[in-house]
Amino acid sequence: MKKLYKLDKVSVVGMFLIFFFMTVISMIVSDPNVSEMPQMGKWLKLLMYAVGTLIGFTIAYWIYILLLKNNSNYKVTLIINMVIGMSIEALLLTIIYLIAGKTNVWVSGIAGFIGFGSLGALNWRYLEVPQSDKIKVSVFTGILFILTLF
Give the model's pLDDT for residue 105.
Answer: 81
Domain range list for the chain: 8-148
The CA distances from residue 102 to 39, 44, 73, 99, in Å, are 23, 23, 41, 8
pTM beyond 0.85, yes or no = yes
Q: What is the pLDDT of residue 61?
A: 93
Give the separation between CA 150 and CA 140, rounded to whole angstroms. Answer: 16
- The per-residue pLDDT for 2 is 66
- List the end-to-end C-alpha distance of the chain, in Å, as a whole number: 33
Predicted confidence pLDDT, tens digits, the chain (150 residues): 667 777 788 888 998 999 999 999 988 888 888 888 898 988 999 999 999 999 999 999 999 999 988 777 788 889 999 999 999 999 998 888 888 877 778 888 888 899 999 999 999 999 888 898 899 999 999 999 998 887
CB burial string 94-121: b at 16+ within 10 A, e below? bebbeeeeeeeeebbeebbeebbbbbbe
CA 57 centroid distance within chain: 7
